[in-house]
Amino acid sequence: MTFGKSYVCALLISMIGASGISRAAVLNVPLDRRQVIRAAEAYLHDKPRTITAYPSARDPGGIHEYYSEGTYWWPNPDNPEGPYIRRDGYTNPNNFRAHKKALGTFGEHVATLTAAWMLTHQRRYATAAIANLRAWFITPATMMAPNLQYSQAIPGIDSGRGIGIIDTVRLVPVARSAEMLERGGVLRGSDKKAVNKWFAEYLSWMITSAHGRAEMHAKNNHGTFWTLQAAAYAALIGDRKVLAMCRRRFKRTLLPHQMAANGSFPRELARTKPFGYSLFNLNAMCCVCQVLSTPTDNLWKYSTPDGRNMKKGLAFLYPYMLHKSTWPYRHDVQHWNSKPQRPPAYLFGGLAYHNNNYISLWNAARGQGQYSNFWFNSFMGPTVLWIAPVTVSPGRFW
């Protein structure tokens, strides 16, 4: 049986990545079947292209090493050939971004193709998704090395920084897709082993390297996104020790050190894009709860001793999501008038707290420009990857 309708009542019962809700959430959630399948049909004809297809003369690593340059760093007008200078909030369009774009395309293709397979049970979508996984993680000539040693480099200053680990948030829906393909019995044997090996090696690098540890201890959204990635990759490979560590970090570090008593994120409010970064971090924290919660350890229900919790975080930003003009803080220096992509915070939060208003807000968001694929939930991918009935037997989801 497949999802023949555009909406389902989300049934969330102790599946990997579920929010720990033990009863049906009586909320209609669109799965965007038509849009997902239309995109997947187009992606069937795209040949996988990895970072090896996009060399950079400024890349200090080899052809298999991921390379990117700091988003907000620019040539110094007083010394054009010297070290770059920082202009927080202002994106330099001339910095090297080819690897980051390729990674984003990879994530969108794999997640969309996997979602189409889940919605239709047509094997051709899964086959195409697995072909992309092979190109990026297995094939010696095209695979990406499992590290980000040279990400978010600053010309003239630094060959790579820990904050660049946020670039691989696009691998979160890839890991989730691999997990679903494994559960469905189509990613198996040597392919399954090799994909899991790549993620295990990358997760180990994130935990043990200097860059990884610096990002893990970041006090703003970067620390949140490190936790989200570590949790998603640990969920795929079944690393219970890392999953437990991520749950502890949410309770002891992320929530008490980043959220104020009113549910805001002061460090994000201090940025030049306070609205955008507040939503960015809220999305990440809610996704952490979605990935890590279990029936016996439900992070959606957790509060710090002084009362900080995700319910407050969602409630703080909600009125400004409805009426952005009432935002009482400074306006973002870029993209203030742009509409955001669907915020997964209000999808997952709406389901966790049985709040139809949150679901309606999420569903109404359509985005624009580079975010025109409204059905692709920010850095999490198509909805069906995360909101699906329980697997009842190998090869069946429904």
In percent, the amount of the chain with pLDDT more than 70 equals 88
Counted residue by residue, the chain has a size of 398
Q: Would you place residue 398 in the very low, low, confident or very high pLDDT band (cuts 50, 70, 90)?
A: very low
Closest C-alpha to 300, from 249, 351, 266: 351
DSSP 65-105: S-EEE-TTEE-BTTBTTS--EE-TT---TTS--HHHHHHHH
Class of domain 7-385: mainly alpha
In percent, the amount of the chain with pLDDT more than 90 equals 79
Where residue 335 falls (left for φ over 0; alpha for ψ -120 to 50; beta otherwise) is left
Q: Is the pLDDT of residue 368 over 80?
A: no
pLDDT digits (tens, 9 = 90+) for 198-243: 999 999 999 999 999 999 999 999 999 999 999 999 999 999 999 9
Q: Which residues of 83-122 are buried (b: 16+ CB within 10 A; e: fewer)?
A: ebbeeebeeeeebbbebbebbbbbbbbbbbbbbbbbbbbe
What's the average model confidence in pLDDT over 261-268?
Answer: 98
Q: Which residues of 305-315 are buried (b: 16+ CB within 10 A; e: fewer)?
A: eeebbbbbbbb
Where residue 238 falls (left for φ over 0; alpha for ψ -120 to 50; beta otherwise) is left
CA distances 294 to 14, 269, 288, 308, 398, Å, are 6, 31, 12, 20, 21
Q: What is the pLDDT of residue 6?
A: 47
What's the average model confidence in pLDDT over 296-306?
Answer: 98
Q: Is the pLDDT of residue 192 over 90?
A: yes
Tell me 252's DSSP state: I
Q: Is the distance from CB of 311 to CB of 298 less than 8 angstroms?
A: no
Q: Would you place residue 335 in the very low, low, confident or very high pLDDT band (cuts 50, 70, 90)?
A: confident
Q: Under 8 Å CB-to-CB from 20, ≥6 apart: which residues? A: 14, 293, 294, 295, 296, 297, 298, 299, 300, 301
Q: Is the pLDDT of residue 395 over 60?
A: no
Instruction: Give bridge partners of residue 73 from the DSSP assignment.
Output: 86
Closest C-alpha to 365, from 335, 338, 342, 336: 342
| Beta strands 67-69 and 150-153, pairing class | parallel
3 state DSSP class of 184:
coil
Tell me 380's DSSP state: T
For the chain, list the strands marked E by DSSP: 7-9, 28-30, 67-69, 73-74, 85-86, 150-153, 376-377, 381-382
Tokens of 361: 């807000």
Compute the mean pLDDT over every residue in the chain, rounded to the nearest whole number: 89
| Beta strands 85-86 and 67-69, pairing class | unpaired
Q: What is the pLDDT of residue 27?
A: 61
Q: Is the pLDDT of residue 8 over 80?
A: no
Tell me 362's DSSP state: H
Q: Which residues of 22-61 are buried (b: 16+ CB within 10 A; e: fewer)?
A: eeebebebbbbbebbbebbeebbeeebbbbbebebeebeb
State pTM to two decimals.
0.91
Closest C-alpha to 295, from 352, 347, 248, 345: 352
Q: Is the pLDDT of residue 22 over 60?
A: no
CB atoms within 10 A of CB 189: 7
pLDDT digits (tens, 9 = 90+) for 161-185: 999 999 999 999 999 999 999 999 9
Q: What is the pLDDT of residue 387?
A: 87
The amino acid occupying position 175 is A
Tokens of 114: 């996997």
